[in-house]
Structure 1
């Protein structure tokens, strides 16, 4: 049963496509608020490279789920779902909400739910890490859960690791747990009115936007931001392995020349945009603008 007249609008698309701009305009017109669905913007101290909303934007429209954790802290799709649902339950009765971002795992977890498992022990994490180091992660998953192994690309270390850790921790194949969950899950649209908007952008226009954004980030002090984060002890975190940050970190460690940095950021960003579009094109419920 739908519990609120107000609508939840997912605003998705590639990085730099103009999602946030579109959502802010619509939120202003409707008196709504914005929820972040970008896995980098949840980190504190990552500002320039994360392209967070400006202070002016945040004055115009209330924003939620930004600056939630330190770069050294883990924040899973399950954590995101719980945080987002708490905001939705509190805010949706009084105004429409726009969920904006390009992190497919976050959006999928919120929309479709996800199964809960016990915390993975340090022992299992260490065992799986050793398999990664010896390039045996995929072969081990093939052995204990061939169905999951068939569904996951052999070079997708994050998903392979998650599937193997859960399988070893729960004593049951990840694919079997997932199957049981899918039979009993409750989707967001079972409780709320939901629509999905995709902000499209042709490749050449997107490359132009990405180039301008990368230039602006470097001019705004991205190198200093990354250097500061490294000095704070965040060099080896997942956050600093994200697009833009990892290229600057490589430059600071002597991995590339300064004149190569801009193009490296552009290339990585365009690769990310391609992966994002591949993900979102699978969802036939998205209406593209």
Structure 2
């Protein structure tokens, strides 16, 4: 669809289980659009059910890109995602809107505002940093980061372990501070597009109920078989795909250390906590995006 000669992009962000995929599919079918994945876990293969990736039947109803295309053994970065998006833009019919949908705020931020081109960090360095901060509390993590990258430490309101690990690993692998890379990032990719933005923001209790129901359905709908397949690959536990919510919980049930109900409860709690972090991120970073309520009837 052309609007004054400009291509269209629709950005649908929101917490897990808010109905983003259903809304994106409906819009794609109505507008002959292309659904582009903006979720860091749904890029990986092997875990379709566990990561709530659209089903094969749903992806058959409209064109979907960047879903399940990355091997589980890979560390897929935001920079790599942007490169993949660029390839989608170059190959897609410019008359068709691109509908970006997902819960990874950093992907949307990079798409709109650009992203620092940081070299790939060796896995062993990331693992070393993970082990180093494992026993530290928030104040201690922040103090450590303050010594090595004070500007990044100043930017962090909360010493989130993953962000601290990222900053420290970049500094130790490259000799440069993460903040230095970020201050020199490239421009966003949607400057020539007519952009529509939205954040799905259901009521908290409704979202919690949907999350609980969804994981119960996942457990009996193929998630167990996916975790068995993933474990058979004998991957490095530090890989992103190994940290997908549900992998550890189902694994412990398979090992006999958790009852089925316990595994479901723990995964549900972890997902609800993740949704809370997502909502906070979108509120802080995308506060000016229009809000919408629940999208879709099924979780």
Partner of 1:247: 249
Aligned to 2:273: 271
Structure 1 residues 125 and 275: CA distance shift in structure 2, 3 A: closer
What secondary structure is seen at the aligned counterpart in 2 of 1:63? strand
Q: Deviations over 1:195-236 (max 9, x none)?
A: 211222112221221122112111113222212211222372
In structure 2, how many angstroms separate the alpha carbons of the residues matched to 1:239 and 1:126? Answer: 15
Matches of 1:277 and 1:227, distance apart in 2: 31
Compared CA separation, residues 268 and 129, structure 1 to 2 (3 A): closer
Alpha-carbon separation, structure 2, partners of 1:211 and 1:240: 21
> Which residue pairs with 1:163 in the alignment?
167
For 1:173, the equivalent position in structure 2 comes to: 177
Please state how far the C-alpha of 1:37 moved relative to its aligned partner: 0.9
Alignment of 1:218-257 (within 5 A): 218-234=219-235, 236=237, 237-257=239-259
Question: 1:152 aligned to 2:153?
Answer: no
2:215 is equivalent to residue 214 of structure 1: yes
How many residue pairs get matched?
A: 285
Conserved in 2, the CA contact under 8 Å of 1:113 and 1:186? yes
What is the aligned partner in structure 1 of residue 296 from structure 2?
Answer: none
Deviations 1:163-202 (A, max 9, x none): 1232234433322332243xxx422342322121122211
TM-score of the pair, normalised by structure 2: 0.86
Superimposed CA distance per residue, residues 27-70 of structure 1 (whole angstroms, 9 cap, x where no aligned partner)? 11111110011111111111111112122211210000011212
Q: Which residue of 2 aligns with 1:113?
A: 114
1:120 CA drift (Å): 3.4
Q: Helix, strand or coil: the match of 1:60?
A: coil
Q: How many Å apart are 1:152 and its aligned residue?
A: 2.9
TM-score by length of 1: 0.88
Alignment of 1:13-162 (within 5 A): 13-91=14-92, 93-120=94-121, 124-125=125-126, 128-129=129-130, 131-132=132-133, 135=136, 138-152=142-156, 155-162=159-166
* C-alpha contact 2:170 2:178 (8 A) present in aligned 1: yes
User: What root-mean-square deviation, in Å, do the aligned CA atoms of Structure 1 and Structure 2 show?
Assistant: 2.5
Q: Any gaps of 5 or more consecutive residues in structure 2?
A: 293-299
1:77, distance to aligned residue in structure 2 (A): 0.9
Once residues 257 and 235 of structure 1 are traced to their aligned partners in structure 2, the CA distance between those partners, rounded to angstroms, is 25
Equivalents in 2 of 1:122, 1:101: separation in Å? Answer: 26
Q: Indicate the SS of the match to 1:188.
A: coil
Deviation at 1:101, TM superposition (A): 0.3
Can you list the C-alpha shifts for 1:77-131, whole angstroms capped at 9, x where unaligned?
Answer: 1111111122123215130010010011222222221121334357755653553
22-31 or 233-242, which deviates more? 233-242
Q: Tell me the distance in 1 between the aligned counterparts of 2:131 and 2:222.
A: 37
